[in-house]
Chains A and B, each alone.
Chain A
Amino acid sequence: MRRLLCTLFTLCWAATVLAIPPMGIEAPPLHYTLPKPERIILPNGVVVYLLEEHDLPLVDVQIRLRGGRLYEPADRAGLSTVFVRAWRNGGTLRHSPEAFNTAIEDMAATLDIADENDTLSITLSTLARDWRRGLALLAELLRTPAFRDEQVRLAKAQVVEQIRRRNDDLASIASREFAGFVYGTSHPLGRVPTVQSVQNITRQHLLAWHQKLVTPRNLWIAVTGDFDRRAVLEELRKRFGGWKGSSPALPTLPPPKDQPAGTGFIAKQADQAHLRIGHLGVPRRVPERAALDVLNYILGGSFTSRLTQEIRDKRGLAYAVWSSFAPANPRGLFVIGCQTKSESAEEVIHLIREQVRRLTEEPPSEEELQQAKESLIHSFVFLFPTASDAVSAQMLLEIHGLPRDTYDTYIDRVRAVTAQDVIAVARKYLFPDRLRVLIVGDGKKLAHLAEQAQRLQAR
């Protein structure tokens, strides 16, 4: 009865024989098919991705909307976080919060709403037998949330408590304040909620935010799992089809400004210094993504990376050292992170600077290049652990306006990367003379570093 939904896209790696010990262990060809969902657009603009998968009696629904933290007004920073909490916990016009949660949890279902930088996600997981009831509750929460006063107050108070606690942990200070140090503390990517900005939020703001964002033209729905597509489609049409609304106008985010080199210091009583070193990175859409992934693998994106070898393996100076080129809208971060005992902080900063510079001065060795490329190509099968992950990722490509075949072409793009490409992207995107260094650690033990740095406060 069911028709084949997938347009099959199969990757196949040729048989290879290992040239390393143990000599002669063969790797037969591997066949991998990226799960390809069916895509349907309802007349009112809702985009639906469907993929049946009958391995286990479970159904996953993920809904995405454009509009996250980056679009909050500055004087109400934290709005998005309060919004998703109060939305989820505030019940619906039909159901009190208690009745709503009881209905969800009596099915052992989970329903969560999360906010990210520029999207919101609502995820529902149910046993296969309960998908219809789960979807009905999800639609009810989506279209007729109540944002009850009591839950709005609770959401605000909980976010304020998180603000009070956010400086308990060095890693959280380092990540947050490094963003401020690079983007500037007034840029949406660098600013943080304050107790005051959260207090400024009212229930009316949340209702207006919901009205603005939650419209059929701003809705992407992915359903994966053990269901019959016709039944699900029918239910989706019933729940979301008759709904009208236009797409929300979201402002274009201001581009952050590149900053000169600089060192910042934040005092916090501790045994280790937490270091963040880097500068502005790349936007979501960047033609050299594959070469950047190779570069990052070589620098600090793997357990065989140069940073791990130099700082952890050879010298025992850290448990954790890593690098990242995560893309973001409008600009991501290039950042290296490391935690080391106070006495070693200076040496580690020096070693990191040296490694960044080296990448811009000489191409990687053939051995390093092959190591990186083969790792990225062969580990592609692990990119999406479940069919639901694969479908969500492909849906996100559409939302972010990225090429829809991004994952289909990825392996070929990595395969084409040369050592010259790597040094070219290093020279284009790495600036050893513009590195911004943030040190979070003990003011007394790190006095010599603190003296030469700009003193900053953890917000």
Chain B
Amino acid sequence: MRVVSVALLMVGFCVHASAQVSFAERVVEHRLNNGLRVLILPRKQSPTVAFYILHRVGGVDEESGRTGVTHMLEHMLFKGTTTIGTKDYEKEKPIWDEIERLRDELEAERAKGEKADKQRIAQLQRREQELLQQVSQWLIPQEYDRIFERAGSPGTNAWTSNDVTVYTVSIPANRLELAAWLQADQMSHPVWRQFYQERDVVLEERRQSVNDSPEGALWEAFLATAFLVHPYRNPVIGWESDVSRLRTADIARFFRAYYAPNNTWLAVVGDVHPDQTIALVEKYFGKIPLQPLRETRISAEPPQRGVRRVVVRMPANPQMLMGFHKPSAPHDDDVVFSVIQGILTRGRTSRLYRELVEKQKIALSVSAYSAPGDRYPNLFVIDAVPRHPHTVQELEQAIWRELSRLRTQPVTEAELKRMRTWAEADLLRELRSNEGMATQLLWADAVLGDWRELFRFVERVRRVTAQDVLRVARQYLHKDNCTVAVIEPAGEAMR
């Protein structure tokens, strides 16, 4: 994520559908000859449009030693193109090439660690500063953002998850063509200018959202423990040593392999005419050539055989995560899990809230969700914060008691009914925002395989029975399939 913090916590979205047939009927789908898929949802609520692009590439597609490259690439796409951000690209190009050659030596020298020639490093850094000074005369800083903001966009952004990369722009409805031009240019002719400054920005992002963040540090350790071999074990932002060694060649290679139009989805939601929108998209995105997609071979996570535990010691109060391997959406069992999630933690009537927060008074809060993605089997996560002087161990015991109840006694009809009503209301509320709908349409189509899954969900929840919940709870919610991660206070004395 480029502006808002915490890139690594992109939790799998809860998808919900409803009987809002009128919205489903309004969705227009289209595929360009180069494979780019377009979804349009016209709505007249206000003269604004969400113009969202998804590339089906995320942390899972990275190789060892180069984790974080997807997220780094996301940052670099805002640095401009051969047209945007430059007064004369032909003049700046040779200078960037020289910086790149200088970096070959600088990075190699640095990699020697203790044995590095410090004088040589200082010399190279001075030379790099001169070159950066020289190239700055050709740059128009942040021109991409300038154009969008000046056109009325409340800010351009993007985020990377374990599964996908999404570029998010909202614009006043009269600037649709501008958005189409700029976004097509951005995915066709990017220039990797100021790469090493941006790499430092990402390292700052990592310090902020992982190193110094209790939630971030716990999340990283949790995933790396729950997954032994599947790449969901890697943080989206990348391991620190990997990020600090990324080079422009790495992102260039990744860009070519995954930002092909035949690996790209576009959602346009808001005050638009579908025919005009398709014509604009054809005009600007149609020229981008189709490419053969890289074949990725990803290790499957073997079945877990026994509880796994991990402790993170840092200067913060205790909190915990429990995770259970499970199939991801759109698998039937995932729908059952969304019902379980609601019964356990949704609202003040939910079982864990009533039991842990109100009755036993051992928790400050408790929530549950599926994560960290949906392209591959994922985890059902329970996230709980104990209330002093109660410990995470007490909390875990209490959660096990509730899970055991779920495995032995059928849930009530009243609980199931409530979950059906929630599912209906959730999609209605989601439909209120162009941005929310654009995100959901992209995710459902690119990850689940069909945007209609959004609208099918209510019906699927309606079919879940108490027997389904018993079966699923027995199959997945047991100790041998569980990973527990906790924060243990350490370092400076805490209050």
| Alpha-carbon distance A29/B153, docked complex (angstroms) | 16
A105 at the interface (CB under 8 A from B): yes
Task: Fill in one digit per residue for B153-194: 1 if any A CB lies within 8 Å of its CB, else 0.
Answer: 111100000000000001011110110010001000000001
Tell me whether A374 and B174 are in contact in the complex, defined as CB-CB below 8 angstroms, given that A161-B388, A309-B142 are known contacts: no
B244 within 8 A of partner (CB): no
- The yes or no answer to B492 lying at the interface (CB within 8 A) is yes
Find out whether the CB atom of A272 lies under 8 angstroms from the CB atom of B174: no
Chain-B contact segment, one of A198-206, A239-247, A314-322: A314-322
Q: CB-CB < 8 A to B146: which residues of A?
A: 304, 371
B315-A32 in contact (CB<8A): no
Residue pair B424, A303 in contact (C-beta under 8 Å): no
25 examples of A-B residue contacts, CB within 8 angstroms:
A20-B143, A22-B185, A27-B174, A98-B349, A102-B349, A106-B414, A154-B357, A164-B388, A169-B214, A169-B316, A271-B207, A272-B208, A308-B142, A309-B141, A313-B197, A316-B204, A317-B200, A319-B204, A320-B5, A320-B208, A341-B203, A371-B149, A371-B150, A382-B152, A385-B433
Q: At the interface, yes or no: B304 with Cβ under 8 Å from chain A? A: no
Answer whether A319 and B5 are a contact pair too, CB < 8 Å, given A108-B424, A303-B142.
yes
* Given A21-B83, A167-B494: A382 in contact with B154 (beta carbons within 8 A): yes
Q: Are A304 and B197 also in contact (CB < 8 A) when A27-B174, A158-B364 are?
A: no
Which chain A residue shows the least CB distance to B154?
A382
Instruction: List, in ascending order, chain A residues with CB within 8 A of B492's CB.
Output: 267-269
Q: Give the nearest-CB partner of B387 in chain A.
A: A161
Across the interface, name the chain A residue whose C-beta is closest to B489. Answer: A168
A312 touches B201 (CB 8 A): yes
Contact A379 B149 (CB under 8 A): yes
Question: Contacts A28-B174, A30-B173, A340-B204: A379 and B5 contacting too (C-beta < 8 A)?
Answer: no
A110's nearest neighbour on chain B, judged by CB, is B347
Is A304's CB under 8 angstroms from B428's CB?
A: no
- Interface assignment of B361: CB less than 8 Å from any CB of chain A: yes
Chain B residues in contact with chain A, CB under 8 A?
3, 5, 20, 43, 45-48, 83-84, 141-143, 145-147, 149-156, 170, 172-175, 177-178, 181, 185, 194, 196-205, 207-208, 211-214, 315-317, 346-349, 357-358, 361, 364, 385, 387-388, 414, 417-418, 421-422, 424-426, 428-429, 431-433, 491-492, 494-495
**With a CB–CB cut-off of 8 A, which chain A residues contact B347?**
101, 105
Question: Of residues 27 to 81 in A, which have CB atoms within 8 Å of B's CB atoms?
Answer: 27-32, 55-58
Closest 8 CB pairs of A and B: A378-B152, A316-B200, A316-B197, A108-B425, A319-B205, A168-B316, A101-B348, A108-B421
B200 nearest CB neighbor, chain A only:
A316
Q: Could you say which of B149, B203, B361, B491 contacts A302, with CB atoms under 8 Å apart?
A: B149
Inter-subunit contact A164/B317 (CB<8 Å): yes
A339 cross-chain contacts in B, Cβ below 8 A: 204, 207-208
List A contacts of B433 (CB < 8 A): 385-386
Q: Specify the main secondary structure of chain A where it touches its partner.
A: mixed
B459: min CB distance to chain A, Å: 16
**Contact-residue bracket for chain A:** 35 or more
Complex formed: what's the CA distance from A309 to B85 in Å? 13
Closest to A97 in B: B348
Q: Which residues of B contact A97 (CB under 8 A)?
A: 348
Q: Mark A90-118, 1 if CB is under 8 A from B, else 0.
A: 00000001100110011111000000000
Q: Are A164 and B208 in contact (CB under 8 A)?
A: no
Contact between A27 and B178 (Cβ–Cβ < 8 Å)?
yes
What's the A-B contact tally at a CB cutoff of 8 Å?
A: 200
Contact A319 B201 (CB under 8 A): yes
Q: Are B317 and A379 in contact (CB under 8 A)?
A: no
Contact assessment for B47 and A318 in the assembled complex, using a CB-CB cutoff below 8 Å: no
Output the least CB separation between A182 and chain B (Å). Answer: 23
User: Which A residues are in CB contact (< 8 Å) with B177?
Assistant: 25-26
The answer on a CB contact under 8 Å between A25 and B181 is: yes
A149-176 contacts to B, CB under 8 A, are 154, 157-158, 161-165, 167-170
Given A157-B387, A268-B315, A303:B208 Cβ within 8 A: no
Chain A contacts of B172 at CB under 8 A? 30, 378-379, 381
By a CB distance below 8 angstroms, the chain A residues around B207 are: 271-272, 339, 341
Q: Name which residue of chain A comes closest to B175, CB basis.
A: A27
CB-defined contacts of B45 to chain A, threshold 8 Å: 55, 386-387
Q: Is the CB of A106 within 8 A of B421?
A: yes
For A158, list chain B residues within 8 Å (CB): 364, 387
Contact between B46 and A127, CB atoms less than 8 A apart: no
Contacts of A319 in B (CB 8 A): 5, 201-202, 204-205, 208
Q: Given A30-B172, A378-B150 in contact, is the A303-B155 Cβ separation under 8 Å?
A: yes
Partner of B212, one of A98, A157, A163, A170: A170
> Are A56 and B154 in contact (CB-based, < 8 A)?
no
Q: A122 near B: Cβ within 8 Å?
A: no
Per the bound structure, the CA–CA distance linking A20 and B385 in Å amounts to: 52
Task: Tell me the smallest distance from the CB of A447 to a CB of chain B, in Å.
Answer: 15
The answer on a CB contact under 8 Å between A375 and B150 is yes
Contacts of B208 in A (CB 8 A): 272, 319-320, 339
- Chain B, Cβ-Cβ closest to A318: B204
Cα–Cα distance between A377 and B316 once the two chains are bound (Å): 44
Q: Which residues of B contact A341 (CB under 8 A)?
A: 203-204, 207
A324-374, CB < 8 A from B: 339-341, 370-371, 374
* Residue on B nearest A375 in the bound complex, by CB: B149
Residue of B nearest to A26 (CB): B177
Q: How far is the CA of A145 from the CA of B317 in the complex (A)?
A: 34
Given A313-B194, A316-B197, 12 extra CB contacts under 8 A: A32-B46, A56-B20, A163-B495, A165-B316, A165-B317, A270-B212, A271-B212, A272-B204, A303-B142, A309-B142, A374-B150, A386-B45
A409 to chain B, nearest CB (A): 19
Residues of A within 8 A of B152 (CB): 374-375, 377-382
CB distance from B399 to the nearest CB of A (A): 18
CA distance A387 to B494 in the complex (A): 45
Give CA–CA (A314, B43) in the complex, Å.
40
- A380 and B431 CA atoms in complex are apart in Å by 22
